[in-house]
Amino acid sequence: MPETKEMLDLLAKEGLTLGCVESLTAGLFAATVCDVPGASAVFAGGLVTYDPRLKVKLADVSQKSIDLAGVVSAEVASQMAIGGAKTLGVDVCVSCTGNAGPTVQKGGEPVGKVFLGLYYNGYTWSLPLQLDGDRRKIREQTVENMVEFVISLFTVHKDS
């Protein structure tokens, strides 16, 4: 995916480090990033917090937020990005939580409902997505959107 190299180049140019906190993608973002030669110059690592308990323990997500907003929510995605940046010690952290299917999750989130979170320099953004396809396709589209979300930091969010 050429956008992944573009993302890494943009981060390297700014001297920024990158980390991730993944749920439904279960490490696919980290694997995609590390397919790019030289990724280690920017990418520090990631957390796979598939189980909500690990979102709380490793990414410092509030159990109250999970209980009130649901694990598939903008609030949880944002907290994952903030907590991931702190745990991993990185400048930029991107996160994802969602339902890749094949069934509706507890709380009623439909298949393909995904929230991304992005943390940088004290700011946090979230992005809701409704993706189509089977489980594999939804996970792949989530990774593509995560890469694009980080790239947007250098265009849309740069002056925020």
Residue 48 lies in a domain: yes
Q: How far apart are the first and last CA of the chain?
A: 28
Question: Residue 128 corresponds to which tokens in the numbers above?
Answer: 């809701």
Q: Find the radius of gyration of the CA atoms of the chain.
A: 14
Q: Answer whether residue 26 is part of any domain.
A: yes
Q: Could you tell me which residues come within 8 angstroms of residue 124 by beta carbon, excluding any fewer than 6 positions away?
A: 78, 81, 82, 117, 118
pLDDT of 39 reads: 98
Specify the number of domains making up the chain: 1
Provide the pLDDT for residue 105: 67
Q: In the chain, what are the helix, strand and coil shares in percent, each to the nearest 5?
A: 45, 20, 35
Residue 157 lies in a domain: no
**pLDDT score of 106:** 64
For the residues of 94-139, what is the DSSP string, one character each?
EEEEE--SSSPPTT-PPTTEEEEEEEETTEEEEEEEE--S-HHHHH
Q: Is residue 1 part of a domain?
A: no
pLDDT along the chain (160 residues), means of 10: 94 97 98 98 98 97 96 97 98 97 80 97 97 97 98 72
Its pTM stands at 0.94
Q: Does residue 11 belong to any structural domain of this protein?
A: no
Beta-carbon count within 10 A of 45 CB: 17
Give the pLDDT confidence score for residue 103 in this predicted structure: 86
